[in-house]
Amino acid sequence: MIRVLGLTFLMSVLLLAAGCGDDSSDSAEMSFRQKVALAEKETDPGTRARRLITIGRSQGKAGDELGAEGTLRSAAKACKKVTDPAGRAKLYAFLTDAYAQLGSRSSATRNASLATEAAREVEDPAEKPRALARVAMAQNAAENADLAAELLREAEQLAGQLEDVFAAVLVLIDVADGFQKLDDAAEADRVLNAALELAATIEDPRGRSGLIGEAAVKLHGMDKAAKSTKTFELALKTAGTIEEPTSRVYALADLSEQLSKVGNHAKARQVLTEAKGLTEKIVEKDLQGQAIRKIREMIYELPDAS
């Protein structure tokens, strides 16, 4: 009897030590404190900030607003130490969204301003407009819709100055997505049409098909399913003009991933099946083998059509 009681007591102690069976708020807070302490040990300020923001968001969702505020203040200190302006802008935008989620308008506004300042410091001509489009959404999260629209127009203007057409199209797609999130459907359509027109000027059909496919993904996210489907059809038609078998196989594989991204797994599987058949036309055996393995892996990993 003594042995049984002793064993029961030992098991109880072990369960308590492991936190099993304890769903109290104190236990949850301890868990958050441990995560914060671990994140604070990150030597890279960008990684530290990102982890702390993620934890802070989780605390907010769990109802621990006071704890979330403290964690996000620590994240803000880490953001400040990030030397790369593009990275700093992205982190401040992430932080703004976290504060907006908490309902802290003043903190969201302050960090949205810091995100905007960092984005304006970006020197790379291709990265700067994308950074501005990104922080525009931070301004929107901080309920500064007019400034968000202004930043999107500035990003669009900078995109028009880019010599790299690929980069310009990607910026315009981001800008169109931004206007859609501002509930400005007319501007979103205008900019996206401009992106598609610009993509059509790219001579390389593989690059052209990929960018058109990216636009189709964005259209789906903008709740424009019918236009997204037509844009995917254009992307597939463009890929079909690629004469070199290897390039066409990989272009189709890329489009399959994009189709799967929007949940059209049946069409993605159909495209992969077409790509698999085309591998027979690849003359070089090494390249053929690589292509076959890639397609097989993609078919295996593709979710079942629903």
Encode pLDDT of 75-116 as tens digits.
999 999 999 999 999 999 999 999 999 999 999 999 999 999
Residue 215 or 73, more confident: 73
pLDDT digits (tens, 9 = 90+) for 18-74: 444 343 444 444 588 889 998 899 999 999 999 999 999 999 999 989 999 999 999
What pLDDT is attached to residue 24? 40
CB 214 within 8 A of CB 251: no
Burial of 274 (0-12, 13-18, 19+ CB in 10 A): middle
**Measured torsion, CA atoms of residues 128, 131, 132, 134, in degrees rounded to the nearest 10:** 160
Chain centroid to CA 148: 19
Per-residue pLDDT at 270 exceeds 60: yes
Question: Of all residues in the chain, what percent carry a pLDDT higher than 70?
Answer: 90
What pLDDT is attached to residue 18? 43
pTM of full prediction above 0.95: no
Per-residue pLDDT at 138 exceeds 70: yes
Burial code (b: 16+ CB inside 10 Å, e: under 16) for 46-84 equals bebbbbbbbbbbbbbeeebeebbbbbbebbbebbeebee
How many angstroms separate the CA atoms of 99 and 42, rounded? 22
What pLDDT is attached to residue 20? 42
Q: Confidence class of residue 305 from pLDDT cuts 50, 70 and 90?
A: low
pLDDT digits (tens, 9 = 90+) for 272-288: 999 999 999 988 989 98
Residue 28 or 189, more confident: 189
Q: Confidence class of residue 172 from pLDDT cuts 50, 70 and 90?
A: very high
How many angstroms separate the CA atoms of 118 and 123, rounded? 10
Q: For 83, which DSSP code?
A: -
